[in-house]
């Protein structure tokens, strides 16, 4: 499953950056709207299978086969264009050299924290919210925040496209506030208050993952699929590392304290993205790097 998810992530992001090379961040946000879109479909389906059929987790998990089979037919029936780097004749050696640039290394470190702040709590969200607000099933909170993310990514991604660093800065701050607020809720809290805190968290995490990929694709087009895949793979690895850590923190301190602990990296992100905002402003503003198609852009 890990290999299949990694292959999809490794192929589809560079593909979108190639097809829409003049609006990478916007289109990557629209593409990744279907991450929460899938969570909505899967969450509601799991809820229905539980309440109506008392289905086992194995049966719920097997529904993944439906999109997997669709992916298979798409993969064997479609022709894919060469990546932007290949079309621009950027040599492989220069592609690897892009990974050593200080800005990429900084973004690489940030991706560990943005992914941990977004997807780490997501995996525990239904369990944690079910404990804090026992009168509602926790999966409904997950579906709600996923719905917010879907709408914002799909219909309002233009903001992140035009001001990606500012979007990352604001989203990091909102994610931290939302996590800290959620962590401060007591069992038996009013569902209205819980949904308000979940709203701040849901809006905050909306643009983190796809905008990080978009900034990478826009600032390092010579890095091609390699740098985009390194960024996406780092995010996935971060989640794999964070999940058991968060589980241990929940066992040790309780769900609320664990959420507040995971708000700490967002404070670091606010400082870093604030610094990058001033950095790009000093250079005349944020601009995507362009590669002339078909030229020896690597020379």
Conformation bin of residue 54: beta by default, left when phi > 0, alpha when psi is -120 to 50: left
Residue whose entry in the numeric block shows the structure tokens 């390092």: 220
Backbone angles phi, psi at 9, to 5 degrees: -65, -40
Eight-class DSSP state of 101: S
Question: Residues 17, 24: contact at Cβ < 8 Å?
Answer: yes
Dist. CA 138–CA 22, nearest whole Å: 40
Dist. CA 286–CA 38, nearest whole Å: 32
CA atoms within 13 A on the CB side of 297: 21
Measure Cα distances from 131 to 8, 122, 195, 238, 257 in Å.
Answer: 34, 15, 14, 25, 13
Dist. CA 143–CA 29, nearest whole Å: 19
In order along its 299 residues, the chain shows pLDDT tens digits of 778 878 888 889 999 999 999 999 999 999 999 988 988 888 888 888 988 888 898 998 899 899 889 988 988 998 888 988 998 899 999 999 999 999 999 999 999 999 998 887 877 777 777 776 776 666 777 788 889 999 999 999 999 999 999 999 999 999 999 999 988 888 777 888 888 988 999 999 999 999 999 999 999 999 999 999 999 989 988 988 888 888 888 888 887 888 888 899 999 999 999 999 999 999 999 999 988 765 444 43
Domains of the chain: 2-282 (1.20.1250.20)
Q: What is the pTM of this model?
A: 0.89
Measure Cα distances from 278 to 19, 85, 160, 164 in Å.
Answer: 31, 29, 17, 13
Buried b (16+ CB within 10 A) or exposed e, 12-30: bbbbbbbebbebbbbbbbb
């Amino acid at each position: 499953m890990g290999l299949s998810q990694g292959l999809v992530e490794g192929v589809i992001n560079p593909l979108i950056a190639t097809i829409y090379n003049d609006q990478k961040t916007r289109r990557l946000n629209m593409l990744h709207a279907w991450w929460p879109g899938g969570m909505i479909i899967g969450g509601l389906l799991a809820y229905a299978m539980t309440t109506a059929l008392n289905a086992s987790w194995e049966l719920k998990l097997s529904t993944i086969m439906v999109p997997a089979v669709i992916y298979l037919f798409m993969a064997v029936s479609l022709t894919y264009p060469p990546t932007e780097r290949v079309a621009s004749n950027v040599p492989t050696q220069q592609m690897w050299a892009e990974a050593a640039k200080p800005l990429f290394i900084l973004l690489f470190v940030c991706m560990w924290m943005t992914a941990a702040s977004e997807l780490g709590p997501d995996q525990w969200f239904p369990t944690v919210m079910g404990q804090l607000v026992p009168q509602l099933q926790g999966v409904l909170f997950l579906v709600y925040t996923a719905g917010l993310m879907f709408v914002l990514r799909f219909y309002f991604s233009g903001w992140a496209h035009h001001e990606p660093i500012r979007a990352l800065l604001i989203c990091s701050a909102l994610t931290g506030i939302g996590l800290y607020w959620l962590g401060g809720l007591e069992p038996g809290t009013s569902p209205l208050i819980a949904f308000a805190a979940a709203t701040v968290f849901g809006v905050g995490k909306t643009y983190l993952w796809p905008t990080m990929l978009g900034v990478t694709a826009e600032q390092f087009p010579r890095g091609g699929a390699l740098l985009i895949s390194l960024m996406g793979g780092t995010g996935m690895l971060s989640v794999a590392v964070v999940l058991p850590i968060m589980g241990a923190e929940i066992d040790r301190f309780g769900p609320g304290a664990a959420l507040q602990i995971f708000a700490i990296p967002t404070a670091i992100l606010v400082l870093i993205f604030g610094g990058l905002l001033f950095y790009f402003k000093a250079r005349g503003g944020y601009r995507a790097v362009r590669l002339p198609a078909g030229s020896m852009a690597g020379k």
